[in-house]
Chain A
Amino acid sequence: DGGITQSPKYLFRKEGQNVTLSCEQNLNHDAMYWYRQDPGQGLRLIYYSQIVNDFQKGDIAEGYSVSREKKESFPLTVTSAQKNPTAFYLCASSMIRTDYNEQFFGPGTRLTVL
């Protein structure tokens, strides 16, 4: 089955530690995205990538880093510089088209920093 996987589903970390969230897709999509979702708020874009070895900052990139070494994978690192990292993190992917760009989402990772 084609889809997007994220792991783990729940993640706990101590304050000051870096943590990496995994995202893998086998949909052969060129574009991948990382969003953060906080209670009562919409999805906010952290980073996105449209091609291997290239990525762009979204609206809230500070305190996060990404890599795109393979088309299928787009891991997100939450660094100790992120002041309020506890949130629900969603990874998505899409084709790159100019007429229709439905994004497909992974199941999400809920990160809690203690």
Chain B
Amino acid sequence: GQNIDQPTEMTATEGAIVQINCTYQTSGFNGLFWYQQHAGEAPTFLSYNVLDGLEEKGRFSSFLSRSKGYSYLLLKELQMKDSASYLCAVMDSNYQLIWGAGTKLIIKP
């Protein structure tokens, strides 16, 4: 079966750094997406990785290791507005997105 695992909830302090991990087992791999979703709102795109390595975009970075079936999202200089759920999704061999349950990130002052 296909499976994507993320921690259910994480807590971090404003101004700090947090790393959200995602491990996956899917039938094929055509890329990994990270989305941010504020409560009651639609998910919005953060990053896409298809090759191994680190992609940096401002305060957010995403890393992929295809051999390990592993990715992480790194958030730096945390702000209160970063409190949200972060969803990991893998595109499988049929080019369909398989979604993790999401990680709820709580930022404390």
Q: Which residues of A contact B (CB under 8 A)?
A: 40-45, 48, 88, 90, 96, 98-108, 110
Q: Say yes or no: A43 contacts B99, CB within 8 Å.
A: yes
Q: B30 within 8 Å of A by Cβ? A: yes
Q: Say yes or no: B99 contacts A98, CB within 8 Å.
A: no
CB-CB nearest in chain A for B88: A42
Q: At the interface, is chain A mostly helix, strand, loop or mixed?
A: loop
Q: B78 within 8 Å of A by Cβ? A: no
Q: Which residues of B contact A (CB under 8 A)?
A: 4, 8, 30-31, 33, 40-45, 48, 50, 87, 89, 91, 95-97, 99-102
CA distance A40 to B6 in the complex (A): 12
Q: Say yes or no: A42 contacts B42, CB within 8 Å.
A: no
What A residues does B44 contact at CB under 8 A?
A: 105
Q: Say yes or no: B42 contacts A105, CB within 8 Å.
A: yes
Q: Say yes or no: B91 contacts A101, CB within 8 Å.
A: yes
In the complex with contacts A98-B95, A106-B42, A42-B48 CB distance below 8 A: no
Pick the contact of A101: B40, B97, B101 (CB < 8 A): B97
CA distance A105 to B41 in the complex (A): 10
